[in-house]
Amino acid sequence: MRVRVFKLKNAIFTVSTIAIIILLAVLLHVTGSYRTVFVAKRQLPIYSVARDDKKIAISFDCAWGVEHTDEILSVLKREQVHATFFMVEFWANKYPEYVKKIDANGHEIGTHSRTHSKMSTLSKASIIDELQTSSAAITNSTGKKVELFRPPFGDYNNILIETARDEGYFTIQWNVDSLDWKDLTAMQITNRIVKQVKSGSIILCHNNAKHIAQALPIVLDRLKNQGYTFVPIGELIFRENFIIDTNGVQKNAL
């Protein structure tokens, strides 16, 4: 008899425990507190674009110096290629004549932040300040609105991506890294880029990398011969009705 009573009590306890767990889950869901329990969906920038027309984009981050910029612009003009330049505010303020020159040559300009800091460590207010002031420095020289943003160091978190989106920016990463900042030779840079490129690729370079100006004409020639067409990032991406998959590939949602 005692055994039966013990089993009955155990059964009642088990059912009660399950009921409490279910009730708590329902309450957490209704109140929104479940956000502190479950991991939030990871927000991603655009690394590349899903398209089959062999359009690609080449970009240059501008943060330190201008020694190779004129040669880069000369090559791009000769090859009739329009690129995207991401500028840090202190660079844009130091070299306003280059901001104007890049814009006058038909290239697209995006912000690369105000201070070139790791923006995943910043508050939302600080992120907004970084975006707004750096964009203003560019707009003051070009008269054009800034719509693209590349986080320094490729560093980001959900708050950064969401805040940039709320402020009207497309956050842009890359899927082809030239590693030109490591002082690779022109041929090493060329081989890295050409080997990785596919339709919809975004190529990362730096305006003041030691050998990028020598590599650039070879890169453009080889990729053109493979049937690729260069467009600014703003023309490569989808501006509405899109999704970004878990690999950072932007896709048309229609």
Q: What is the pLDDT, as a whole number, of residue 33?
A: 41
Q: What is the pLDDT, as a whole number, of residue 168?
A: 97
From CA 51, how far away is CA 231, in angstroms rounded?
A: 13
Give residue-wise pLDDT tens across range 32-73.
443 334 456 899 999 999 999 999 999 999 999 999 999 999
Binning pLDDT at 50, 70 and 90, where does residue 31 land?
very low
Average pLDDT, the chain: 88
**pLDDT reading at 238 higher than 70:** yes
Q: What is the pLDDT, as a whole number, of residue 179?
A: 97
Give residue-wise pLDDT tens across range 173-188.
999 999 999 989 999 9
**pLDDT reading at 18 higher than 90:** no
How large a percentage of the chain has pLDDT more than 70?
A: 84
Give residue-wise pLDDT tens across range 100-129.
999 999 999 999 999 999 999 999 999 999
